[in-house]
Structure 1
């Protein structure tokens, strides 16, 4: 009997050109952009040319290699948005080390969890953030080095300048396009962050889809992103998309207050601004008294949470520039559903970005018709492969070519998608789905309301009804609760109004601006 044929196994093809650093960093030198400013820091005199980005990332790659860090080891990055960030990120990619940017606004126990979960063997940390992570470093069994950016060495901690001093530059190494390049930790809007693994080709995939098809940057653009580099939205805005076309990015290291953002737009004459709904709402309120920025804005985008219609219209009235609202996720790396510059309808998330397919399905996995609510699934080349060490959650989220977003949407007959809420946030009143976002939009359109969040709470009979948490735009007027209830009834229907209204100073949010409704629900239990 003949022996069964044995399939031959071939190693994946590797190439320098498949390394994301080759496309986003190295190619700019032969294309003549060496002297062009790639990054400048707001409020400082520091800047970074494209040539300096190449040289700096090669020194980081050399320092990592010289210190014995090997391919696939993780390099945690607890770093502010400064010119060192892209040098460390792409330096790691060049030598095969996996950079893991981390949220800069977490508490020590969460840093401990992430550092242990990722098993990072080296940590790059900005000096102002060192004290926040210092308590968890001594007992970490994986870290072999801690590098402080902008601070002096102390004990076993090395300064960034000391680490890269004398390092022999290492050029970009060949990789497979499907090789894991970097991790991002999810924002934690529904619980503890999860490690999301992305491959080298994912970065260019977002630049070729949303970056080219919607944002449409050019080499002459100056980009300011209030959203930070440590999460997916900011990484695309301030790194992937500008570097794809040779544009200039303004880095803002501090907390993006409305006044600071308006001042930075003016100082840098930015042409593109990337924000989140909470910030846009606060900036509009600031503009009502101080006026609009005089920067030559031509494109503004929003993600993180659905943009309230009222905020978009007020922003456009001030600036004459529409906000392109879209939806993305850490799992998909950037925005896959968006409005377009010539086709904006506030209150919707627009249509699929070219290169992405979406579906709406019910609990049984069947497609839902127009105007009915379903969970949004998306298919595109930028999808992550899995969550690190979270097999059951990976299987529940990544279903073949489809990724479950956890967002509830309705598709209108004209093809536009209307956000209804997170799967965990939706609830039924009298057997009918209630969209928290729809109620929140109605509340936010009242002049007394700056922000609103709606969750389900149980009444005396144990039945779920809407409860609203309100941040007022000023002093509370008389009978504000009754006025808001009447306002909602007149806008979206008598049965959707909040049965309880609680006035709060602020809403719990992730660093990306997403409201943590699970924390509000815990308070109503």
Structure 2
């Protein structure tokens, strides 16, 4: 055996996801192609060539600042040009970026800062006041970089951080090396740090991105889900960048008015939404009798299951179906979905090519057609595990399989129907009740905009459905007894909500998921 037999194989750096998603486009002739364009302010844009150069300079700036490989950097950054520069630049330096939800409270940020033990913080100037009280008590953050014209004492502006940095070569990594973290959305409680490897980014682009979404180089993509969220990270960054397309960025809150304006002014071809917003947009355009003119060819939804009624109305307005699917932070993106030309509203479709799914009962045994079971998924994009939560990692990641925490039913046609979160399901008269099924029935009523259903115990201590309702018009009113009868007629006598409470809005995560655990607390 020669001395070289045990040597590691040569690595040209291509294991680093930034090489494939960013630098590859230069050699393939897309250096001048716009990668990202802001839809606000002066409408800044950055080409693939500029992104390659600026991310390489960012990697050098990290090293100049004393940040070391495998240290972690918090990204509290809006959807703006600096986001891809920081994310891909960190990967080039071997730094682990952690994009965070930009809508959390100071106390939650403080907990995440301590939990992650990040060494650096990159924060949009608009968000600095929120995190400022957490900084004096943090022993880990050495660098605070503010994206804006000025920075407070003890911090630097992003431009000052980048000043004088020369482009550097991306560090060599293996496919299984930790690339970035995401903190789960917190729809069931406190966020958890989810660690993802370099290879997972391309895995989602090769599966859902290429074989379901099908973004083309000449597409322009607008995702209402922000890039700190796994769904938005794929929609707005990795999927368009995989083919050299252009992403439209908006740094504000995606309201029906703002989204309508973007559709009208920017005219995207691919639109990535969430059920709550789809419902609000349909209601707005129906009320106004008009909708914007945009060349939409592809629309997708995730985050929560899409109500049938919303999908059908969207199709009637645009002539384009919404491809509803399900994914998770732990799997990085969508693994179960409807597909182009094969959309059945009221279902989450079929497994995305490259993924396998199972439905199991509480004992881990597979369940058959028509039965309700927990959804397990297997695929290359599965996370490496949770940070500092060993028991939770063991209970969620079982070998090659990942427990999603979602309850599903398999139809005779091989499609999967969402029933609810494992923690949300409950039995009435010994029969499983799906909160989502009751919610779908409620939102099909002409007066109802949104609905959320949870279990509430009656005078006998038995669980029954309780509904929280958001009406399309507060002035119109709606008789709760009429709604109860309406649900009974649609889905069954025992499933109707025994209590109905009208509310102004429902508690949600920044990604649009209803936080039913908060409703259970007040039910």
Q: TM-score, normalised by structure 2?
A: 0.97
Structure 2 spans left out of the alignment, 5+ residues: none
Cα distance in 2 for partners of 1:381, 1:478 equals: 49
Aligned residue number for residue 441 of structure 2: 442
SS of equivalent to 1:18: coil
* Cα 1:417/1:9, change in 2 over 3 Å: farther
Aligned residue number for residue 220 of structure 2: 222
SS of equivalent to 1:333: coil
SS of equivalent to 1:262: helix
**1:40 equivalenced with 2:37 (yes/no):** yes
* Cα 1:194/1:9, change in 2 over 3 Å: farther
Cα distance in 2 for partners of 1:81, 1:477 equals: 37
Match of 2:24 among 10, 23, 27: 27
1:482 deviation in Å? 1.0
Cα distance in 1 for partners of 2:399, 2:138 equals: 36
Aligned residue number for residue 263 of structure 2: 265
* Cα 1:105/1:28, change in 2 over 3 Å: same
**1:313 equivalenced with 2:324 (yes/no):** no
1:140-173, CA deviations, whole angstroms, 9 ceiling, x for partnerless residues?
Answer: 0100010000131221110000000101221211
Aligned residue number for residue 468 of structure 2: 469
Cα distance in 2 for partners of 1:466, 1:14 equals: 57
Aligned residue number for residue 347 of structure 2: 348
Contact 2:31 2:48 in 1 (8 A): yes
**1:397 equivalenced with 2:396 (yes/no):** yes
Contact 1:325 1:339 in 2 (8 A): yes
SS of equivalent to 1:90: helix
1:73 deviation in Å? 0.2
Aligned residue number for residue 241 of structure 1: 239
Aligned residue number for residue 498 of structure 2: 499
Aligned residue number for residue 455 of structure 1: 454
Contact 1:15 1:176 in 2 (8 A): no
Cα distance in 2 for partners of 1:38, 1:478 equals: 47
Match of 1:119 among 93, 117, 120: 117
SS of equivalent to 1:120: coil
Contact 1:271 1:298 in 2 (8 A): yes
Match of 2:64 among 38, 63, 66: 66
SS of equivalent to 1:501: strand
**1:382 equivalenced with 2:377 (yes/no):** no
Aligned residue number for residue 5 of structure 1: none
Contact 2:36 2:46 in 1 (8 A): yes
Cα distance in 1 for partners of 2:144, 2:439 equals: 44
1:235-284, CA deviations, whole angstroms, 9 ceiling, x for partnerless residues?
Answer: 00000000000000000100001111111011111000001000000010
1:81-126, CA deviations, whole angstroms, 9 ceiling, x for partnerless residues?
Answer: 0000000000000010000000000000000011111110000000
| Aligned-residue RMSD, C-alpha | 1.2
1:185-232, CA deviations, whole angstroms, 9 ceiling, x for partnerless residues?
Answer: 000001000000000000000000000010001000000000000010
Cα distance in 2 for partners of 1:387, 1:9 equals: 33
SS of equivalent to 2:167: coil
* Cα 1:449/1:12, change in 2 over 3 Å: farther
Q: TM-score, normalised by structure 1?
A: 0.97
Cα distance in 2 for partners of 1:294, 1:79 equals: 30
Structure 1 spans left out of the alignment, 5+ residues: 1-7
1:9-61, CA deviations, whole angstroms, 9 ceiling, x for partnerless residues?
Answer: 97687541110000000000011111110000012320001111011101110
* Cα 1:367/1:76, change in 2 over 3 Å: same
Aligned residue number for residue 106 of structure 1: 104
SS of equivalent to 1:17: coil
1:452-506, CA deviations, whole angstroms, 9 ceiling, x for partnerless residues?
Answer: 0000000000000000000000035465201111110111011100000000000
Aligned residue number for residue 152 of structure 2: 154
